[in-house]
Amino acid sequence: MNFLSFNSTALLHLAITPANSDIPIGLTSAYSANLQSGTCYVGTVISPKYIRTGAGFKATLLFIAYLFKTWPFLKIYMELPEFNMDQFNSGSNRYFHLEGRLKNHYYFNGTYFDELICAFYLEDLKRVKNKIALLKSLKNKESSQ
């Protein structure tokens, strides 16, 4: 097998845990790595208790920064149903970019929704790292009060 054309379904899975606990609250995964094109996909699932707390977004950003540092990726893709996009809108075009849309791809609760294909670019990594640093400093301020 040619290492440069390595293409695998699962590259890495990591449990998401809060800073103050070892109990997992979610999972983040990298899959479909293609080192020849410098791409892979990420997916994150989080316990319903932690939805809209920022935990999933922060874990995804940390994971993406790790992937860029560890492997020669240029772009990291994330696929999500359109109804989940409101959780990520604040990062659109700053941390990731909308690259594709599959019309009526998901059926949920009696309605069809588009699948959005977003990409994190290596050149945007500095903004991602700055966001991670900001989230850490806010967390430190909260815990010191």
Dihedral (Cα; 59, 18, 48, 121), 10-degree rounding: 0
Confidence grade of residue 138 (pLDDT, cut at 50, 70, 90): low
Tokens found for residue 135: 């989230």
The stretch 116-120 carries a mean pLDDT of 93
Confidence grade of residue 80 (pLDDT, cut at 50, 70, 90): confident
**CB 55, CB 26: distance < 8 Å:** yes
The pLDDT tens digits for 40-78 are 999 999 999 998 788 888 898 889 999 999 999 999 999
Q: Tokens 């900001």 appear where?
A: 134
Q: How many DSSP H helices and E strands does the chain contain?
A: 2, 6
What is the residue extent of each domain of the chain? 3-144
The stretch 6-14 carries a mean pLDDT of 75
Q: pTM (2 decimals)?
A: 0.77
Average pLDDT, the chain: 83
φ, ψ dihedrals at 31, nearest 5° = -150, 170
Confidence grade of residue 27 (pLDDT, cut at 50, 70, 90): very high
Task: Specify the amino acid at residue 145.
Answer: Q
φ, ψ dihedrals at 7, nearest 5° = -140, 115
Selection from 99, 55, 110 nearest residue 77 by Cα: 99
- CATH superfamily, domain 3-144, is Gcn5-related N-acetyltransferase (GNAT) (3.40.630.30)
Query: Residue 4 burial by CB count (10 A; 0-12/13-18/19+): exposed, middle or buried?
Result: exposed
Whether 137 shows a pLDDT value over 90: the answer reads: no
The stretch 106-130 carries a mean pLDDT of 88
The pLDDT tens digits for 30-40 are 999 999 999 99
Whether 128 shows a pLDDT value over 60: the answer reads: yes
Task: Please tell me which residue, 88 or 49, carries the higher pLDDT value.
Answer: 49
